[in-house]
Protein backbone atom coordinates (compact mmCIF):
# COMPACT_ATOMS: atom_id res chain seq x y z
CA UNK A 1 0.00 0.00 0.00
CA UNK A 2 1.38 3.43 -0.99
CA UNK A 3 0.94 6.08 1.68
CA UNK A 4 0.03 9.66 0.89
CA UNK A 5 3.50 10.86 1.89
CA UNK A 6 5.16 8.21 -0.27
CA UNK A 7 2.99 9.25 -3.19
CA UNK A 8 4.03 12.88 -2.74
CA UNK A 9 7.68 11.85 -2.58
CA UNK A 10 7.32 9.83 -5.77
CA UNK A 11 5.66 12.74 -7.58
CA UNK A 12 8.41 15.08 -6.46
CA UNK A 13 11.10 12.65 -7.62
CA UNK A 14 9.42 12.42 -11.03
CA UNK A 15 9.24 16.21 -11.20
CA UNK A 16 12.95 16.50 -10.41
CA UNK A 17 13.74 13.93 -13.12
CA UNK A 18 11.57 15.46 -15.81
CA UNK A 19 11.64 19.20 -15.10
CA UNK A 20 15.36 19.80 -14.62
CA UNK A 21 16.64 22.11 -17.33
CA UNK A 22 20.11 21.16 -18.49
CA UNK A 23 22.84 22.93 -20.39
CA UNK A 24 21.98 23.10 -24.13
CA UNK A 25 18.24 22.68 -23.47
CA UNK A 26 16.13 25.36 -25.13
CA UNK A 27 14.98 27.85 -22.52
CA UNK A 28 11.20 27.83 -22.11
CA UNK A 29 9.40 30.65 -23.90
CA UNK A 30 6.62 32.51 -22.14
CA UNK A 31 4.72 35.77 -21.89
CA UNK A 32 4.73 37.67 -18.62
CA UNK A 33 4.13 41.03 -17.01
CA UNK A 34 7.24 42.89 -15.89
CA UNK A 35 8.13 46.22 -14.35
CA UNK A 36 8.87 47.38 -17.92
CA UNK A 37 5.63 46.07 -19.42
CA UNK A 38 4.54 42.76 -20.95
CA UNK A 39 7.20 40.66 -22.69
CA UNK A 40 7.47 37.53 -24.81
CA UNK A 41 10.68 36.03 -23.45
CA UNK A 42 12.40 34.78 -26.62
CA UNK A 43 11.48 37.97 -28.49
CA UNK A 44 12.80 40.03 -25.60
CA UNK A 45 16.14 38.19 -25.73
CA UNK A 46 16.48 38.97 -29.43
CA UNK A 47 19.81 38.06 -31.02
CA UNK A 48 21.95 38.67 -27.95
CA UNK A 49 22.64 36.97 -24.64
CA UNK A 50 20.43 37.04 -21.55
CA UNK A 51 20.54 36.31 -17.83
CA UNK A 52 17.36 35.29 -16.03
CA UNK A 53 17.91 35.35 -12.28
CA UNK A 54 15.31 34.50 -9.69
CA UNK A 55 14.89 35.34 -6.03
CA UNK A 56 12.48 33.82 -3.47
CA UNK A 57 10.71 36.97 -2.30
CA UNK A 58 10.78 40.77 -2.43
CA UNK A 59 11.64 42.79 0.70
CA UNK A 60 14.16 40.22 1.97
CA UNK A 61 17.69 41.18 3.03
CA UNK A 62 20.02 39.04 0.89
CA UNK A 63 17.93 39.52 -2.24
CA UNK A 64 17.93 43.29 -1.74
CA UNK A 65 21.73 43.34 -1.89
CA UNK A 66 21.74 41.04 -4.92
CA UNK A 67 19.35 43.04 -7.07
CA UNK A 68 21.20 46.22 -6.20
CA UNK A 69 24.49 44.60 -7.20
CA UNK A 70 23.03 43.56 -10.54
CA UNK A 71 21.77 47.11 -11.05
CA UNK A 72 25.28 48.41 -10.48
CA UNK A 73 26.64 45.97 -13.07
CA UNK A 74 24.03 46.76 -15.74
CA UNK A 75 26.46 48.68 -17.95
CA UNK A 76 29.03 45.89 -17.74
CA UNK A 77 26.44 43.41 -19.01
CA UNK A 78 25.29 45.82 -21.73
CA UNK A 79 28.87 46.06 -23.02
CA UNK A 80 28.75 42.28 -23.39
CA UNK A 81 25.48 42.40 -25.39
CA UNK A 82 23.76 40.70 -22.46
CA UNK A 83 20.32 41.60 -21.13
CA UNK A 84 19.39 40.92 -17.51
CA UNK A 85 15.95 40.22 -16.12
CA UNK A 86 14.85 39.35 -12.60
CA UNK A 87 11.94 37.21 -11.46
CA UNK A 88 10.14 36.21 -8.30
CA UNK A 89 6.64 34.96 -7.58
CA UNK A 90 5.69 38.38 -6.22
CA UNK A 91 3.37 40.61 -8.27
CA UNK A 92 4.81 43.43 -10.37
CA UNK A 93 3.33 46.01 -7.99
CA UNK A 94 5.50 44.65 -5.17
CA UNK A 95 8.59 44.88 -7.39
CA UNK A 96 7.90 48.56 -8.02
CA UNK A 97 7.59 49.27 -4.29
CA UNK A 98 10.73 47.28 -3.49
CA UNK A 99 12.86 49.25 -5.97
CA UNK A 100 12.95 52.17 -3.55
CA UNK A 101 14.40 50.01 -0.78
CA UNK A 102 16.98 48.52 -3.16
CA UNK A 103 18.20 51.97 -4.17
CA UNK A 104 18.30 53.13 -0.54
CA UNK A 105 20.28 50.11 0.64
CA UNK A 106 22.72 49.73 -2.27
CA UNK A 107 22.89 53.10 -3.99
CA UNK A 108 21.93 51.52 -7.32
CA UNK A 109 18.58 51.93 -9.04
CA UNK A 110 17.07 48.91 -10.79
CA UNK A 111 16.47 49.71 -14.46
CA UNK A 112 16.25 46.16 -15.81
CA UNK A 113 12.85 44.44 -15.97
CA UNK A 114 11.57 42.27 -13.13
CA UNK A 115 9.00 39.58 -13.92
CA UNK A 116 5.99 39.23 -11.67
CA UNK A 117 5.01 35.56 -11.43
CA UNK A 118 2.21 35.39 -8.83
CA UNK A 119 0.57 32.41 -10.55
CA UNK A 120 3.92 30.52 -10.34
CA UNK A 121 3.80 29.77 -14.08
CA UNK A 122 7.35 30.77 -15.00
CA UNK A 123 8.87 29.28 -11.85
CA UNK A 124 7.27 25.96 -12.80
CA UNK A 125 8.34 26.23 -16.45
CA UNK A 126 11.96 26.55 -15.35
CA UNK A 127 11.70 23.71 -12.85
CA UNK A 128 12.15 25.93 -9.82
CA UNK A 129 8.83 24.82 -8.29
CA UNK A 130 6.97 21.50 -8.72
CA UNK A 131 4.62 21.55 -11.70
CA UNK A 132 1.81 19.98 -9.63
CA UNK A 133 1.94 22.76 -7.02
CA UNK A 134 -1.47 24.36 -6.62
CA UNK A 135 -2.38 27.93 -5.80
CA UNK A 136 -0.65 31.26 -6.20
CA UNK A 137 2.06 33.19 -4.40
CA UNK A 138 -0.49 34.49 -1.89
CA UNK A 139 0.67 33.59 1.61
CA UNK A 140 3.90 31.94 0.47
CA UNK A 141 7.03 32.79 2.47
CA UNK A 142 10.62 33.12 1.25
CA UNK A 143 11.29 29.65 2.70
CA UNK A 144 8.40 28.24 0.65
CA UNK A 145 10.11 29.65 -2.45
CA UNK A 146 13.67 28.68 -1.51
CA UNK A 147 14.20 26.84 -4.82
CA UNK A 148 13.28 29.97 -6.79
CA UNK A 149 16.88 31.09 -6.56
CA UNK A 150 18.56 30.07 -9.79
CA UNK A 151 20.49 31.95 -12.46
CA UNK A 152 20.11 30.93 -16.11
CA UNK A 153 22.53 32.19 -18.77
CA UNK A 154 20.88 31.95 -22.20
CA UNK A 155 22.59 32.34 -25.56
CA UNK A 156 21.40 33.98 -28.79
CA UNK A 157 20.19 30.54 -29.91
CA UNK A 158 17.86 30.56 -26.86
CA UNK A 159 19.67 27.58 -25.35
CA UNK A 160 20.72 27.43 -21.71
CA UNK A 161 24.48 27.85 -21.43
CA UNK A 162 24.87 27.84 -17.64
CA UNK A 163 22.78 27.46 -14.48
CA UNK A 164 23.70 28.32 -10.92
CA UNK A 165 21.69 27.87 -7.71
CA UNK A 166 22.55 29.30 -4.30
CA UNK A 167 21.05 28.80 -0.83
CA UNK A 168 19.08 31.72 0.60
CA UNK A 169 21.73 32.47 3.21
CA UNK A 170 24.53 32.99 0.67
CA UNK A 171 24.54 36.06 -1.55
CA UNK A 172 25.46 35.34 -5.14
CA UNK A 173 28.74 36.46 -6.73
CA UNK A 174 27.64 38.38 -9.81
CA UNK A 175 31.23 39.12 -10.88
CA UNK A 176 31.37 35.39 -11.61
CA UNK A 177 28.52 35.86 -14.08
CA UNK A 178 30.57 38.45 -15.95
CA UNK A 179 33.48 35.99 -16.05
CA UNK A 180 31.20 33.23 -17.34
CA UNK A 181 29.76 35.48 -20.04
CA UNK A 182 33.29 36.42 -21.16
CA UNK A 183 34.23 32.74 -21.35
CA UNK A 184 31.05 31.66 -23.14
CA UNK A 185 31.32 34.40 -25.74
CA UNK A 186 35.02 33.74 -26.34
CA UNK A 187 34.63 29.98 -26.66
CA UNK A 188 31.59 30.34 -28.92
CA UNK A 189 33.79 32.01 -31.52
CA UNK A 190 37.09 30.15 -31.09
CA UNK A 191 38.14 26.55 -30.55
CA UNK A 192 39.43 27.20 -27.06
CA UNK A 193 38.37 26.59 -23.46
CA UNK A 194 39.14 28.60 -20.33
CA UNK A 195 41.00 27.15 -17.32
CA UNK A 196 40.12 27.40 -13.64
CA UNK A 197 39.88 30.96 -12.31
CA UNK A 198 40.46 32.37 -15.79
CA UNK A 199 39.82 36.05 -16.40
CA UNK A 200 39.51 37.86 -19.70
CA UNK A 201 42.94 38.54 -21.20
CA UNK A 202 44.63 35.50 -19.67
CA UNK A 203 45.87 32.42 -21.52
CA UNK A 204 43.37 29.83 -22.69
CA UNK A 205 43.36 26.13 -23.56
CA UNK A 206 43.30 24.68 -27.08
CA UNK A 207 40.42 22.18 -27.19
CA UNK A 208 41.44 18.52 -27.73
CA UNK A 209 39.63 18.33 -31.09
CA UNK A 210 42.23 20.70 -32.62
CA UNK A 211 45.40 19.00 -33.82
CA UNK A 212 48.85 20.34 -32.98
CA UNK A 213 49.34 21.45 -36.60
CA UNK A 214 46.00 23.26 -36.65
CA UNK A 215 46.77 24.83 -33.27
CA UNK A 216 50.02 26.24 -34.65
CA UNK A 217 48.23 27.47 -37.75
CA UNK A 218 45.57 29.20 -35.68
CA UNK A 219 47.70 30.55 -32.84
CA UNK A 220 51.31 30.55 -34.09
CA UNK A 221 52.55 28.47 -31.17
CA UNK A 222 51.39 26.91 -27.94
CA UNK A 223 52.79 25.74 -24.61
CA UNK A 224 52.19 22.04 -24.02
CA UNK A 225 52.00 21.55 -20.26
CA UNK A 226 50.74 18.03 -21.00
CA UNK A 227 50.00 16.36 -24.35
CA UNK A 228 46.31 17.20 -23.86
CA UNK A 229 46.80 20.57 -22.09
CA UNK A 230 48.01 23.18 -24.58
CA UNK A 231 48.00 26.84 -23.59
CA UNK A 232 47.83 29.80 -25.96
CA UNK A 233 47.27 33.53 -25.72
CA UNK A 234 43.62 34.54 -25.67
CA UNK A 235 42.46 35.22 -29.24
CA UNK A 236 41.91 38.91 -29.78
CA UNK A 237 43.49 39.93 -26.48
The pLDDT assigned to 17 comes to 42
Q: Of 157, 175, 212, 214, which is the active-site residue?
A: 157
Q: According to CATH, what is the number of the domain 190-232?
A: 3.30.1020.10
Residue 62 confidence (pLDDT) above 90: yes
Q: In the annotation, is 25 catalytic?
A: no
Radius of gyration of the chain (CA): 21
Q: According to CATH, what is the number of the domain 27-169?
A: 3.40.30.10
Q: Of 33, 58, 63, 117, which is the active-site residue?
A: 63
Residue 157 confidence (pLDDT) above 80: yes
Q: In the annotation, is 63 catalytic?
A: yes
Q: Where are the domains of the chain?
A: 27-169, 190-232
Lowest-confidence segment of 2-6, 70-74, 82-86, 174-178 by average pLDDT: 2-6
pTM strictly above 0.85: yes
Amino acid sequence: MVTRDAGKATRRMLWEMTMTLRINDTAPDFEADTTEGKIAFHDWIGDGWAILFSHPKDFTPVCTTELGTMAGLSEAFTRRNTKIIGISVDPVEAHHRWKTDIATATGSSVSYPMIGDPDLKVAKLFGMLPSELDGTSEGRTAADNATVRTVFVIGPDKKIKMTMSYPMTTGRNFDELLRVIDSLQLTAGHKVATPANWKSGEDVIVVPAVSDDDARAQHGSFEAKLPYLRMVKQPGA
